[in-house]
Amino acid sequence: MTSVADLKVKLFADGADKAGMLEMYDNPSIKGFTTNPTLMRMAGVQDYRAFAREIIEAIPDRPISLEVFSDEMAEMEEQALEIASWGDNVYVKIPVTNTKRDPAYSVIRRLSRAKVKVNVTALMTVDQVREVADCVAGNPSYISVFAGRIADTGRDPVPIMGAAVKLLESTPDVELIWASPRELLNVFQANSIGCHIITATNDILNKLSLVGKDLDEYSLDTVKMFYNDAQRAGYTLLAARSTTLAY
């Protein structure tokens, strides 16, 4: 099994809780950060600009991806230009389409030509990867394929992600992100196919300490967990009564 030290895939932390992000910032294995409006809302962020600038100031030397939230292409582009101006380490997340299914390719192409570093997000097909790669070629960019959501549909994401890796071999400035992982195993799957980056929430990244753990010991830990939780809960059962059947 590949050890954590031998991983070639870069680990990014996905979240919007400042304390959690700074916890990951203290870990040199975490090479970057991603967030999105859903995570920010879940974390209770009220002021988008203030939160983003605070995080950029606290984490100035690793890439941070911040997402636009307009559904109109012109406004999406304006938001992207403003967000990009907040720091040299900022990548602007652009959804591959808006809610009306309109592709964002023209916006992505213009931003790339303006040297805005983009992270094109919410992709799920190789065709989408091909279209976006053409838009961003020659400009440092990320393409986020939501492998976890692909898996949620019952499909194996590995062949799709592997095809995306191959497709991007001709665009060395463009890195593929394995997004929305569901378990730590996904880190090793991403690594095995040569994916450049995987972004994961803290609860998944914190499981890196389990890599290589003896399974017999892990089995015993699990038994202890069940036992201790039953004791803490104070569960009891009445003693079974013997019953004599009359014939």
pLDDT tens digits for 57-79? 999 999 999 999 999 999 999 99
CATH assignment at residue 181:
3.20.20.70
Closest among 127, 119, 177 to 147, alpha carbons compared: 177
String of DSSP letters for 45-80: ---HHHHHHHHHHHS-SS-EEEE---SSHHHHHHHH
pLDDT in tens, 102-140: 999 999 999 999 999 999 999 999 999 999 999 999 999
In a domain? residue 70 = yes
Instruction: Give pLDDT, residue 142.
Output: 98
In a domain? residue 121 = yes
pLDDT in tens, 213-223: 999 999 999 99
Tokens of 231: 């004791």
Measured in whole angstroms, the distance separating CA 163 from the mean position of its chain's CA atoms is 19
Domain that holds residue 23: 4-211
Cβ(34)–Cβ(65) under 8 Å?
A: yes
- Total number of domains in the chain: 1
In a domain? residue 230 = no
Number of H-type helices and E-type strands within the chain: 11, 8
In a domain? residue 118 = yes
User: What is the rounded CA–CA span in Å between residue 34 and residue 145?
Assistant: 13
Q: Is the pLDDT reported for residue 2 higher than 90?
A: no
Which pTM value belongs to this model? 0.93
In a domain? residue 216 = no
Residue 195: band (very low, low, confident or very high) from pLDDT cuts 50, 70, 90: very high
In a domain? residue 237 = no
In a domain? residue 219 = no
